A and B are shown apart, each in its own frame.
Chain A
Amino acid sequence: MYFSQKGAVRRVRSCLSLLKKGDFAIMGIVLCSVLMSFAALNSRQDDKQLEIIVTINGEEVYRQPWSREQTYTIGLNLPKGAKAFLDVTPEGVQMQPLPFEVCPAQICSHMGRISKPGQVILCVPNKLIVEIARVGSLQLDIDGITE
């Protein structure tokens, strides 16, 4: 049979037999650089201290550590005059539904609760970004990535 197990093993072996010594060196360099870059980027993330960052219209309006202990609400002034409310609970952060006049699609409140570092709530009509980040970690430039 063409696709017998023995044939598959032989095929894989014939692929691997193509490799020369230098190939393994190149793969080793690749793997080492992967590990090194991964380690370098994650070295400052041991403390597990998270913070909530809110950006409206490209301007950072709120940045506070998040301890996952209390429950409170953050009020935010939107450029269109309305006020947005952000519920912070020990489980996560969630947008309260905005009035339809300023946020017709209601996507931001439907995004639900975020709790892990790197997660984001976006409200496009109000240019609002709520972000959870590790304190001192690199932050992603959302405009750049979606371009």
Chain B
Amino acid sequence: MSRDLFKMVRLGLLLGLAMALWLLEGLLPINHVIPGAKLGLANVVILIIVLRFGLKEALMINLLRCFIISLFTGTTFGFTFVLSLGGGICAALAMGAIGRWGMKHVSVIGLSIAGAFAHNIAQVILACIMLGHRGILVYLPYFLVFSLPTGFFTGLVTHYVLQATGWQDVFQSERGGEKSA
């Protein structure tokens, strides 16, 4: 019982952290250098959840994050909400799948790049479907190119976070003795 409670509290704290990072990210001027580009700092939290808890929890926290942020910005069920939700789900699925079965061959950085990649592809395709105009596809290569450096950066940040908190060693015990990185 207390184990479940610990898990819930930790996930709640991580959810708050993800939203705080999202706010912090909005303050960074990278958006003005490259229009539409984002660092994806909130992805650090999702990566940690993928590694520590697993796919289901990461998906859940990402959904909650998208929903609560849309309540903050007042875009619930709007265009940007669907974009961020679709991107978040796809990123969590990709990272969760790799984190579950491929951590022997992939480091945190590769995991993060895969997540950024899935996020960007999903957003561009969703924007295409929702606007009913395939002209948006013109942006696809640029978004995908940006997923490399941003994914690398968030992966590196996650690596240092894991190192600093010493969470690297507790993966096994947290996931019920399941074999992981």
Q: Give A contacts to B, CB under 8 Å.
A: 15, 18-27, 29-31, 33-35, 37-38, 41, 138-141, 144-145, 147
> Can you name 16 extra interface pairs (CB under 8 A) apart from A22-B107, A38-B141?
A20-B107, A22-B102, A22-B105, A23-B109, A25-B110, A26-B113, A30-B148, A34-B141, A41-B137, A41-B140, A138-B135, A138-B138, A141-B131, A141-B135, A145-B136, A147-B79
Knowing A18-B159, A34-B144, A34-B145 touch, does A26 contact B133 (C-beta < 8 A)? no
Evaluate contact between A26 and B144: CB separation under 8 angstroms.
no
Q: How far is the CB of A78 from chain B (nearest CB, A)?
A: 25
Q: How far is the CB of B81 from chain A (nearest CB, A)?
A: 13
Knowing A22-B102, A41-B137, A144-B133 touch, does A30 contact B113 (C-beta < 8 A)? yes
Q: How far is the CB of A32 from chain B (nearest CB, A)?
A: 10
Q: Which residues of A contact B43 (CB under 8 A)?
A: none
Main secondary structure, interface of B, reads helix
Evaluate contact between A19 and B107: CB separation under 8 angstroms.
yes
Evaluate contact between A30 and B134: CB separation under 8 angstroms.
no
- Which B-chain residue is minimally distant from A38 (CB atoms)? B141
A-B contacts, 20 listed (Cβ < 8 Å): A18-B107, A20-B110, A22-B102, A22-B105, A22-B106, A23-B106, A23-B109, A24-B110, A26-B106, A29-B117, A33-B121, A38-B141, A138-B135, A138-B137, A139-B135, A144-B127, A144-B131, A144-B133, A144-B135, A145-B136
**What 9 A-B pairs have minimum CB-CB distances, sorted nearest first?**
A23-B110, A22-B105, A22-B106, A144-B131, A38-B141, A141-B133, A140-B135, A26-B110, A34-B144
